[in-house]
Structure 1
Amino acid sequence: MPTTVAADNGRAEQETVKKGNVKTSPKMGKKTLTLDTMNPHIKVMEYAVRGPIVIRAGELEMELKKGAKKPYKEIIRANIGDCHATGQVPITYIRNVLTLCINPKLLDSPDFAPDVKEHAKRILSSTRGGLGSYTDSTGLDVVRQDVADFIKRRDGIAADPDNIILTAGASEGIKALLKLINNEKNGQKPGVMVPIPQYPLYSATIAEYGMEQIGYYLDEDNNWALDINELKRSIREARKVCHPSVIVIINPGNPTGQVLTEENIRGIIKFAHEEGLYIMADEVYQDNVYAPGSKFHSFKKVMTQMGAPYDGLELASFYSTSKGFMGECGIRGAYMELVNMDSQVMAMLKKMLSAKLCPTSVGQACIGCVVSPPKQGDPSYESFMSEKQAVLKSLAEKAKLVTDTFNSIPGIHCNTVQGAMYAFPRLDLPQGLIDKAKSVGQDPDFYYALQLLENTGICIVPGSGFGQKPGTHHFRTTILPPPKQMEEMMVRFKKFHTELMEDKLKNV
């Protein structure tokens, strides 16, 4: 499995970069840092979620603003899990606590509920000079304790605040841990097992750090379940070129939207124990479970319940304010819990993090609100629960709409969106389109996504940006746009694909 996932191999500007064509002037002189002398790992990394199709979507938006005539009036961005950018309303309680933390002068205002004020005071009491001051590298003590309490409520298992590290988004924690693990053994690179399809953060980081990506395919015919035999096949082949060190699990899944069963998780834990792997559990979508019969099970809880020797495995789990019902992507709040980490290694990790000083203090306050929401009887409880349930109900309805609509279109197959915020449908593409894509040096699903954007204004991400079985074609779409826009998106999508399959789109 390659260390990067192709996002686009057909755009002229990328070819310009590859060839090293750089605009210069007489004053610039000879450059010390060039494409030949820079870090080679950066050149091969890709991040499809913000790739060339998204850039083109931005260009089309500018064209529309200037009065360009298109068969649509707006771009529908279904490429990235940015909740508030697609119209999701912020949770009032969270924003009110953050407001008071940022502007403590408002603590005397009658416009804020007593429980909001008390929460803000607790957070501020843990700082040295308000949210404008640095915090400890691992985060505010009060918030880390609240995270520990949250985990205990969720799992019924105690958590140690000293094993909890607050981070600027889950991505920062994931990258920090992979950096810590990145060490060659007997001349071989460390290998990181990631699901295919996978979230491009992993392939990009693995490439950036010069590690080896070990892809294991999820079972599309079984609603993207994880097959233990596939894990064994994958690691067996990988040992020829690297030393496997980590297994990454994304549950609920991104981009596939599946929710692992407890039985599946038990099998993964047994496999990790047999192979001596560090488990990284990306659980940022744990609040996003929609399908009847589906339930989120944390790796920590299942591992602990399994008892010895499995409860001694090294595990890192991640949770974020960016997803769930909160959708506070830009605030960058998250935590990681490190279970059974060697104490000396933990000291090294904290030393490494100290060089970054601290995660954003506003993000820390935000994750503090998420893990310690209003309790029943508090003044803000009813409104908080109402807003939370409204968001999750809407997401569940859109998950069903997306699944049902795609499956009603000939040539598209979509598994049930059990959780998370995405669907990852499979495309049966006409051979003519496949040949046309190859003739211009593009992956077929990239070409499809580009034509979809140009003809309908819908921005999605091609499956080749996440990885997929050879010979198959997919795309990822979010379920985040507002209900009316989502319905409009499905109408446009169905018309485009139907006409494409009937060979009525002459400009494609």
Structure 2
Amino acid sequence: MAAAEGSPSGTPGPPTPVPTVPEDCGSDDAHAVGRSPLAVLRQVVAACACPELLGSPAMPEAARHRARSILREMDAGNIGGYNHQHRALGVPTRVARFLERRDGGVPCHPRNVVLCSGTASILPFVVSLVVDEAAAQPTGVLVPVPGPPLHRAAVGLAGAVAVPYPLAEEQGWGVDGETVRRALRRARARCHPKVFCVVNPGDPTGHVLSRQNMEDIIRLAAEENLLLLADEVQQERAFLPGRPFLSFKRVLWEMGAPLASTVQLVSFYSLSKSVAGESGFRAGFLELVNVEESVMLPFQLAQSIPRPCVLGRILLDLLMDPPDEGDPIQQALEEHRQGLHHDLARNARRVQEVLGRVPGIRCHPVQGGARAFPRIQLPPHALRRAQALGLEPDVFFCQKLREATGITLAPGSQFGQPEGTHHLGLSLLLPAETLERVLLALTRFHAAFLRDFS
């Protein structure tokens, strides 16, 4: 991580703070749990916002050069305008080139790229486009369990009905086709399923789907005539060389006709979960693949689509269109990416090593994403106490953990989980020293909790 913190000119970055335990140790917000931002990205954005810095020797020349290039694309060289051309053509064009590089040359047209202010703001809009309010049955949307709470909330906001399908915990949290079909059959009594939402890499489960599993999902979507929503916002956090991230678009394309030209797909990318982890700038995009014109049109016409602010757009643009090989900004980005993957892989191993030795805790290997999702055993007396308090058992456990140690983890019920099981969401973005303190406190507390409630 340290290699990514200095400026590209070689001047030292800010001193490393003494590690402290953050308020929320279950978060996937990189900076909130203690990771340092990439200085050069902030420097470019600062110079765009305050052009006086373009003449400051305190600003690295690589950052100033890039800021000048960006400002030349702005109306009157100023970020204060609407800058429609930058939003409608400049950034989407560079996003399309990024996607082509990512997917091994699979073509992408800028027209199919829609900028947004993050997944949370655009997902309800996307789902609403397939909702028929005059239909006899409400629209159903398949959502994974466990999965991001955002999806269930977005479905409700769009006026649709969430249809949960459980992930296969014993198979590494994969998507089992027969389980999804059973969920569809049961759901058709109360709704008309039209959308199939898949999260890859998984959150909070930390799995990365295999190509075979993705092909099965695509075939199922085609058989059931479902719009496939691919939440791929954690894609840059897939850290195992043996299980690389593959986009649904690439797999769909490589499956060939007729699926490659008929399955409708919408995929999502977010600056918050990118290698930069810049959640506060609120920027992202979605790509539309094989989407029919009636669905495309609202994206082109609607003024209500939440768009990213100019600074968020600039930061997104920096990640999409890195400078040439050997450029200081490119080098800093690559070092930052390598540092992120190294830290995630190391933390995943440590969680597996430590919790794997603890009676009453199980944790499947993590392949990507920002969280581990260990399963914890809770004694019957604790379950009864939680019920008496009107709490989910894992919420009760997390409350007791916070009272005893000051550490906050995410209860599994926040994401949904198989009935009768209890889990914890633990951030893999924590600095190594902090993670060790959290693991030590968790293992000691769990042992005491089992004794107290046995």
Pairwise same-fold verdict (TM > 0.5): yes
Match of 2:6 in 1: none
* CA displacement 1:209-257 (0-9 Å, x = unmatched): 3311111111100110111111111111111111111111110000100
Q: Judging changes above 3 Å, is the alpha-carbon distance between structure 1 residues 74 and 417 closer, same or farther for their aligned structure 2 residues?
A: closer
AA partner of residue 204 (structure 1): A
Number of residue pairs the alignment of both structures matches? 432
Q: Residue 79 in 1 paired to residue 26 in 2? A: yes
Select 2:38's aligned residue among 84, 91, 100: 91
Query: Among 282, 298, 316, which residue is 2:266 paired with?
Result: 316
SS in structure 1 of the partner of residue 208 of structure 2: coil
Q: In the alignment, which of 32, 47, 53 is matched to residue 106 of structure 1?
A: 53
Distance 1:74 1:150 in 2: 36
Deviates more, 1:108-117 or 1:391-400: 108-117
Residue aligning to 1:151: 99
Residue 279 of structure 2 is matched in structure 1 by: 329
CA RMSD of aligned residues (A): 2.0
Q: Where does 1:171-210 land on structure 2 (aligned, <5 Å)?
A: 171-184=120-133, 186-210=135-159
Counterpart check, 1:433 vs 2:353: no
What's the CA shift for 1:76? 4.4
Matched, 1:341 2:288: no
Residues in 1 aligned to 2:226 and 2:378: alpha-carbon distance in whole angstroms? 39
Give the 3 Å change call, closer, same or farther, for CA 295–185 of structure 1 in structure 2: farther
Q: Secondary structure at the match of 1:502?
A: helix
Query: Equivalents in 2 of 1:343, 1:109: separation in Å?
Result: 49
Give the Cα–Cα distance (whole angstroms) in 1 for the partners of residues 134 and 374 of structure 2. 39
- Once the two structures are overlaid, the 10-residue window that deviates more, 444-453 or 366-375, is 366-375
The partner residue of 1:256 within 205, 208, 232 is 205
Note if contact 1:228-1:267 (Cα within 8 Å) is conserved in structure 2: yes
Q: 1:403 to 1:432 in 2, by over 3 A?
A: same
State the distance in 1 between where 2:23 and 2:346 align.
19
Query: Any unmatched runs of 5+ in structure 2?
Result: 1-19
Q: Match of 2:14?
A: none
How much has 1:74 moved relative to structure 2?
5.7
2:87, 2:140 → 1: CA distance? 30
Which residue pairs with 1:226 in the alignment? 175
Change (3 A) 1:178 1:122: farther
Distance 1:258 1:327, change over 3 A: same
Give the Å deviation of 1:185.
6.4
Correspondent of 2:422 among 473, 477, 481? 473
TM-score, scaled relative to structure 1: 0.81
Contact 2:128–2:159 (CA under 8 A) maintained in structure 1: no
Alpha-carbon distance between aligned partners in 2 of 1:198 and 1:254, rounded to the nearest angstrom: 6
| Residues 75 and 163 of structure 1: CA distance in aligned 2, closer, same or farther (over 3 Å) | closer
Contact 1:252/1:286 (8 A) holds in 2: yes
Instruction: Look up the equivalent residue of 2:392 and give its one-letter code.
Output: D
- Assess, with a 3 A threshold, how the Cα gap between structure 1 residues 410 and 303 changes in structure 2: closer, same or farther: same
Q: Secondary structure at the match of 1:376?
A: coil
Note the C-alpha offset of 1:204: 1.2
Match runs of 1:101-500 below 5 Å:
101-113=48-60, 115-129=62-76, 130-136=78-84, 139-155=87-103, 156-184=105-133, 186-312=135-261, 313-352=263-302, 354-355=303-304, 358-500=307-449
CA drift at 1:176: 2.1
1:310 is displaced (CA, Å) by 1.1
The one-letter amino acid paired with 1:399 is A
| Aligned-partner Cα distance in 1 for 2:338–2:148 | 27
For residue 47 of structure 1, what is the aligned residue in structure 2?
A: none
Distance in 1 (alpha carbons) for counterparts of 2:187 and 2:134: 14
Q: Output the amino acid matched with 2:34.
A: G
Deviation at 1:264, TM superposition (A): 0.5
Counterpart contact for 2:120–2:154, Cα < 8 Å: no
Structure 1 residues 118-171: Cα deviation after superposition (integer angstroms, max 9, x where no partner): 433343333325222224399342211110110111111111111111111122
SS of the equivalent of 1:409 reads: coil
Shift of 1:183: 2.0
Q: Structure 2 counterpart of 1:240, which letter?
A: A
Partner-residue secondary structure (3-state), 2:287: strand
- Give the Å deviation of 1:403: 2.3
Q: Which runs of 5+ in 1 are unaligned?
A: 1-72
Query: Residue 36 of structure 1 aligns with which residue?
Result: none
2-side partners of 1:159 and 1:292: how far apart? 26
Matched letter for residue 503 of structure 1: D
Separation in 1, partners of 2:22, 2:61: 42
User: How many Å separate the matches in 2 of 1:209 and 1:343?
Assistant: 20
1:178 aligns to what SS in structure 2? helix
Contact 2:382 2:453 in 1 (8 A): no
Q: Displacement, 1:376?
A: 1.2
Contact 1:123–1:142 (Cα < 8 Å) also in 2: no
